Amino acid sequence: MSKMLLSINPDVATAVADTTATTPTLKETAEQISKMDFNEIWSQLLSSAVDLGLKIILAIVVYWIGKFLIDLLYKVVKRTLEHRKIDMSVNSFLLSLIRIVMMFVLIITIIGILGINTSSFVALFASAGVAIGMALSGTLQNFAGGVMILLFKPYKVGDWIEAAGVSGGVKEIQIFNTILATADNKIIIIPNGKLSNDMIINYSKGGIRRVDWLFNITYGDNYDKAREILTQFINEDKRIMKDPAPAIVLDKLADSSVQVAMRVWVDGADYWNVLYDMNERVYKEFGKYGLSFPVPKMNVNITQR
């Protein structure tokens, strides 16, 4: 079959012969050049220069066309993200990533046009990427966590969250870390990798929060009166919402007290002020209405023998 193919197509035979021929050594090349006259050398140099010049011109043309297309794609993606009102942090990250990836593809293309073997460059970049990834595994995890947080938005700046064993208001979301401020203004920096793999409680996501109290009154005190007074306090506080409706219930008959539970809904920003203001008012005014707070007592009986 091979003999028939070679006899039919002599070009194939020539190609096979060329592939089987060994690459000439430097010494053999020098001997071949020494046997050539000046015109032949000049002709080959001129041919090589023209070929290289055409490749350089083509590479320059491809570079400018590629750069134009990258800029065009950048503007289109930017307009799309702005139209969809994507967060500015996400916009910046995605646009930077697109530009870097497209420029890398353009550079590899230009290297190939110039006749340089691109497989070695790709292998070099891949090896460098693996080495850097192993050295910066924790940092890359935080980076990936930051991307997930920016994309899916489990919280935003200004939200009050609880995660990683701490709670606080979100001051800043960085690409590697999230910065929280506690109620006493301690600054806590949490890696995004930990946040992306941990349970997050966002107290601000729903917009409103429920405030819970548990007030203890003494056995024998008038529960109906206590309920009436608490209802009055709720109606006089304009920060407390009427819908959902507040609730006041007798929660539990404890060993030394009657426990009255009260639950109301407020705007998330008013949570702490409403909680503390109600505590203060109940403490100051319950006594005016004949209501008292139980104090734990212990009876000790001493017998003599």
Please report, for the chain, the start and end positions of each structural domain, with discontinuous segments joined by +.
39-135, 155-202, 208-289
Question: What CATH number labels 39-135?
Answer: 1.10.287.1260
3-state secondary structure of 175: coil
Q: What is the DSSP letter of 191?
A: E
CATH code, 155-202: 2.30.30.60
Three-state secondary structure call for residue 224: helix
Name the residue with higher pLDDT: 38 or 248: 248
Mean pLDDT of 75-80: 85
The span from the CA of 293 to the CA of 301, in Å, is 25
pLDDT by residue (tens digit) across 87-145?
665 666 677 778 888 888 888 888 888 777 767 666 766 776 666 566 556 677 887 88
Q: Tell me the sheet residues that pair with 202.
A: 161
How far CA 107 is from CA of 67, 124, 260, in Å, comes to 10, 14, 73
- CB burial class (10 A; 0-12, 13-18, 19+) of residue 281? middle
pLDDT digits (tens, 9 = 90+) for 201-237: 998 888 889 999 999 999 999 999 999 999 999 999 9
Please say whether the structural domain 208-289 has been given the CATH code 3.30.70.100. yes
DSSP class of 183: T
Q: What is the pLDDT of residues 261-295, one digit of tens each?
A: 999 999 988 998 999 999 999 999 999 998 998 87
- The amino acid that residue 51 corresponds to is D
Residue 2 to residue 64: CA distance in whole angstroms: 47
